[in-house]
A and B are shown apart, each in its own frame.
Chain A
C-alpha cells in the first residue's frame, strides 16, 4: 500500500469514529427530552364576577332588580308593581331594603325621576285631550291578546276612572256635543260596569246631563244609551262578560229629523242596530244625542241613573285599552280593518288616518304621566334607625306640614334595612275639583359599584287626594 493511501485511510477511520461518537451522544440527548416531559394542567383556572342585586319589599310584595334565575341579569333595573307611598294621604308606609347580591354597593340612592303631579293618561292625537286619573286603577296590565307587542292595558278596579281635560268651548265637545261619531274600545271584564260616558261636568259629580254612554249591563250585554229628549238604548243579544278581550265599536249617524242609525259591532262584526234604528222625537231636532257640551269619562258613566238596563256599577271593573273617538261614522269595512290590527303601533296608524281619523285616542298602554305641579302633597322619609333623610337630613323628620312638593335625590346610609315614607297634605283644604285625583311621582331606588348597578323603579302608584 502506498504511504499516502495509508494516511488517508487513517484519517477516514478517525472521522468515522468521531461521527459515530457524535451520533451516539446526539441519540442520548433525544432519548432524554424527546420522550421525557412534565406537564401540569390547571383546569380549575377560573375567574368569576360578583353580583350587585337589590330587593325591596312593600307590604310583603318583593321587587327584585333581576329575576332569581340563571342568565337573567341584563339591565338589572326592574319595574316594580309596588309603590312606596300609601294611597291614603297622611299615612306611612314601610319599604324594606335588602342587598341580595354578593357585593356591597358603594352607594345606595333614592331619587324621584319625574315631576310629581296629578297622574294623567295621554290622548295621543293632536287634541291632547288627556285624562286625569281618579280613584284606583293599575297601569300596564296585560293588554288585548290580539296585539303581539307591548300588550298593555289599564286595569280599572271598580272605583277608578279618568276624567278628560277638554270640554266646552273646544269645538269637539261644545254644544251640541258629538252628534255624528263613533266610539271604539277594547275591553275585558267578568262583570258589569261602564266603558265610557259623556256628561256636562268634568268630574263625575255635579252633572245635569248625561248620555252617549257604553256599558256592560248586569247580564253581560253591551248597551249603548243616548238621550235625544227620550231614553234610547241599544243592546247586544249576546253577553260579553266572559273574561276575554273584545273589540266594540258603536257608530251614531243622524239620518233625518225623525231618525238616526246606531250600530254596535263586536269583534269586527255588526251585532246590534239597523238603518234608522233610532227614532228621534220632534224636540231632538234631528240630533241623535242630547244637546250639550261636555266631557268624556273613561271607566265611568252615569248610566246607573235613568236607563232601563243600567250597569250594576257605574265604574268599570276589568281592563280597557285603545279607546278611540271618531268624528265620523265608521263603515263596516273600517270596523273590520280596525279589528284586524295586530299591534298598538299599527292601531295608532289606523286611527290616525290610515283607516279613519280620530279626534281622541287613549291607548291606555303606558304608565301615568304626572301633570305638574305636585300640589297639596308633601313627603318625609326616615330610616330604620329613625334618622330623617328627606326633606331634611336630621336625627328626626319634622312634623307636618313638610316642605311642599316631592323631589327626592338622597344618599341612603349604609346598612339601612328599611325606609318609612310618610305623606302629608300641604293645605288642609282641597278644592272640590281636586278630590279623588291621583298624585304621583316615580321613585328609583338604586345602588352602584363601579360599572355595576341595580335599580328598582316604582312608578305604578299614587296618593289619592
Chain B
C-alpha cells in the first residue's frame, strides 16, 4: 500500500465513522424527544442593568431654603447648573443696607447630595464686582445714593472661612490653617476677591457630608458718605468637581 492509498482508506474510514455518529445522534435525539415530551430550560437575566452615579450639589445659606444644582425630580438633571439661586452669601436678600463697621456673618452649608464622591469642591468668585444704587426706599430722600460707584467694592471687606470654631481654616482674609482674624481687613474686599480666582474648599467630598463655610462681610469703617446707599454685587459659583 502506498502511503497515498493508506491515507485514502483512512479518509474513507473517518467519513464512514462520521456518518455513523451523525445517524446515532439523530436517533438518540429522536428517542429522547419521544421520551421527555415539551420540557426545556432557560435563564433570562431581567436584572441586567447599568447605572450612572449622580453628582449633585446643595447650598443652604443661614438655614434658608436650600439651592440645588438640579431639581429634585426624575429626569431633572440636565445642565446641573443652577444659575438662578436667590440666596445671598453676604446676607439676606435684598440686603437692607449696613452701616460702617457692622460685621455680617453668614453660614453656608454645602452638601454633595449625589451618590458619587466628588474629587473636589470649589468656590469661584466672579471676576466682576458691580455697583448699583439701593432700590428706592421711602421718604423724601428715597432716591439718594452715594457717588462712590467706582470705589465701593473696595470698601466692602470680606473673609471666607472653612468650618467654625478653633479648627476652622481661613481661606480668604487671613492665614490658612487657622480661623480668620476677628477683625476684617480692608486688604481683602469684594474688589480684591474678584481678582483672586478659584478657592478649593475640600477634596474627595463624600456624599451627604456637609461642608460649612463662613463668609463675614462688613462695610469698612473708613467708608465715607459717598459710599452710602450703594449695593455691590459679586456672584460666587460653588462647584464640584
Contacts and interface: CB of A to CB of B under 8 A. Distances in A.
Interface stretch (A2-10, A51-59, A86-94, A356-364): A51-59
B90 A47 contact: yes
Nearest to A66: B144
Contact of B59 (A42, A51, A55): A42
B217 A49 contact: no
A36 B239 CA distance: 11
Nearest to A77: B225
B25 interface: no
A33 interface: yes
Interface residues of B, number: 80
B156 interface: yes
A60 interface: no
B141 A450 contact: no
B225 A46 contact: no
Nearest to A29: B119
Interface string B212-241: 000001010111111111111111111111
Given A43-B85, A102-B96, A37 B144 contact: no
Contacts of B195: none
A72 interface: yes
Contact of A451 (B112, B152, B224, B234): B224
A32 interface: yes
Contacts of A47: 90-91, 95, 98, 104, 156, 190, 217, 219, 231-232
B13 interface: no
Interface string A82-126: 000000000000000010111100000000000000000000000
Given A47-B91, A101-B228, A39 B147 contact: no
Contact of A450 (B90, B99, B134): B99
A48 B228 contact: no
Contact of B95 (A37, A40, A48): A48
A33 B223 contact: no
B49 interface: no
A174 B156 CA distance: 67
Contacts of A53: 141, 144, 228
Majority SS at the chain B contact face = loop
B190 A71 contact: no
A449 interface: yes
A55 B139 CA distance: 11
Majority SS at the chain A contact face = loop
Contacts of B143: 68-70, 72
A72 to B, nearest CB: 6
A40 B238 contact: yes
B141 A45 contact: no
A106 B91 CA distance: 23
A45 to B, nearest CB: 5
B97 A50 contact: yes
B90 A46 contact: yes
Contacts of B227: 49
A251 to B, nearest CB: 49
A161 B219 CA distance: 51
B163 interface: no
B125 to A, nearest CB: 9
A237 interface: no
Nearest to B233: A46
B102 to A, nearest CB: 8
Chain A interface extent, by class = 35 or more
Contacts of A55: 140-141
A102 B95 CA distance: 12
B198 interface: no
A51 B237 contact: no
Contact of B145 (A36, A70, A450): A70
A102 to B, nearest CB: 5
A243 interface: no
A26 to B, nearest CB: 14
Contacts of A449: 99-100
A39 B238 contact: yes
Contacts of B101: 450-451
Contacts of A41: 81-83, 85, 235-238
Highest count of chain A CB atoms <10 Å: which of B140, B141, B224, B226 = B141
Given A33-B55, A45-B233, A76-B228, A38 B99 contact: no
A51 B94 CA distance: 15
Contact of A73 (B118, B229, B231, B241): B229
A71 B83 CA distance: 30
B146 interface: yes
A38 to B, nearest CB: 4
Contacts of B232: 46-48
B140 A68 contact: yes
A98 B56 CA distance: 52
Contact of B98 (A33, A49, A67, A100): A49
A337 to B, nearest CB: 40
Highest count of chain B CB atoms <10 Å: which of A40, A46, A451 = A40
B99 to A, nearest CB: 5
20 contacts: A37-B239, A38-B80, A39-B237, A42-B87, A44-B93, A46-B234, A48-B230, A48-B232, A49-B146, A53-B141, A68-B142, A73-B225, A73-B226, A73-B228, A74-B147, A100-B141, A102-B96, A449-B100, A452-B225, A452-B228
Interface of A: 32-33, 36-53, 55, 62, 64, 66-76, 98, 100-103, 449-454
Given A44-B88, A48-B134, A49-B146, 13 more contacts: A36-B55, A42-B87, A45-B233, A46-B232, A50-B229, A51-B145, A52-B228, A55-B140, A76-B228, A98-B139, A101-B144, A103-B99, A452-B225
